[in-house]
């Protein structure tokens, strides 16, 4: 049975997914390494092997591999046995193998990637506290502008919960894939994706921009709050969480 043609929405979603997975040249190289001939293709690769091969921080290597696995270009297996077959004590290692139907894809370097990389390196030249203060201030200013767009026809006053959900939706529209959830006595915004990509992992100070955006939007939609980053990809976590205690 012939498959029906993709709708414009389906096509756009497919392009977005492929670009997210293969838009970074290092990630393309890692994918080709994982699906290459010989040992890597048969046994798969670990984050530490990729980090060593491409001279990356292990968290950066893991981020690339998880992005490829999330798009179903790599499959993940858990392995405890060493080369001799004995059971290895401690934490099992993830091995990433290429899935069937692998593809070769090429994309041009995106200008925004270059600018974000430049931003990360520029901030790294400053003392950390100054860089974080600057990054958060930029985020606050941008967040206030986002809030004005969100509430263009409103009066700027919302409940805390409503404002937080509006912030999560705005972040998702900007590539963060975010949602709001309750955790104990606080609400928090969970971001499954970071549009700053690997630059944020290599230069964690950029996470202050995200925190500032949340702070700026909430200040305009609800009132002053004190968001805190409780987990992030640069910390080795699998997602970014901004906790926002209700005042």
Task: Report the pLDDT value the prediction gives residue 10, as an integer from 0 to 100.
Answer: 54
Q: Say yes or no to pLDDT of 106 above 50.
A: no
Residues 115 and 217 in one domain: yes
Task: In whole angstroms, give the CA distance from residue 229 to residue 84.
Answer: 43
- Alpha-carbon torsion (196, 197, 198, 203), positive or negative: positive
Task: Report the pLDDT value the prediction gives residue 227, as an integer from 0 to 100.
Answer: 92
Domain boundary pick from 98, 122, 139: 98
Question: Residue 172 is part of a domain; what is its CATH number?
Answer: 3.30.1380.20
Domain boundary pick from 63, 98, 133: 98
Task: Report the pLDDT value the prediction gives residue 104, as an integer from 0 to 100.
Answer: 43
pLDDT confidence tier of residue 101, bands split at 50, 70 and 90: low
Residue 139 near residue 209, CB atoms below 8 Å: yes
For the question of whether the overall pTM of this predicted structure is more than 0.75, the answer is no
Residues 239 and 160 in one domain: yes
Domain boundary pick from 76, 98, 120: 98
Each residue of 117-150: pLDDT tens digit? 777 778 888 888 998 999 899 999 999 988 888 7
Each residue of 188-234: pLDDT tens digit? 999 888 878 777 888 888 889 999 999 999 999 999 999 999 998 88
Question: Which of 89-98, 108-117, 212-221 has the lowest average pLDDT?
Answer: 108-117
Neighbour-count burial of 2, counting CB atoms closer than 10 A to its CB (0-12 exposed, 13-18 middle, 19+ buried): exposed
Mean pLDDT of 72-88: 65
Residues 58 and 140 in one domain: no
Quote the number of domains for the chain.
2
On whether residue 104 sits in a domain, the answer given is no
């Amino acid at each position: 049975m012939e498959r029906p043609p993709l709708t414009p929405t389906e096509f756009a979603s497919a392009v977005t997914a492929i670009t997210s997975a293969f838009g970074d040249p290092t990630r393309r190289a890692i994918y080709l390494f994982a699906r290459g001939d010989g040992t890597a293709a048969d046994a798969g690769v670990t984050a530490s092997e990729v980090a060593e091969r491409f001279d990356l921080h292990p968290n950066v290597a893991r981020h690339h591999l998880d992005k490829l696995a999330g798009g179903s270009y790599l499959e993940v297996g858990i392995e405890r046995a060493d080369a001799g077959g004995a059971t290895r004590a401690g934490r099992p290692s993830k091995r990433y193998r290429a899935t069937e139907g692998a593809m070769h894809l090429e994309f041009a370097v995106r200008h925004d990637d270059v600018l974000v990389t430049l931003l990360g390196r520029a901030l790294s030249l400053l003392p950390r506290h100054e860089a974080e203060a600057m990054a958060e201030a930029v985020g606050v200013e941008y967040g206030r502008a986002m809030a004005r767009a969100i509430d263009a026809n409103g009066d700027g006053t919302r409940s805390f919960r409503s404002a937080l959900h509006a912030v999560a939706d705005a972040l998702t529209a900007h590539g963060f894939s975010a949602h709001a959830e309750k955790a104990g006595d606080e609400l928090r915004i969970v971001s499954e994706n970071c549009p700053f990509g690997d630059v944020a992992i290599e230069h964690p100070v950029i996470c202050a921009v995200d925190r500032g955006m949340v702070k700026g939007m909430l200040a305009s939609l609800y009132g002053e709050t004190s968001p805190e980053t409780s987990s992030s990809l640069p910390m080795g976590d699998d997602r970014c969480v901004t906790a926002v205690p209700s005042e």
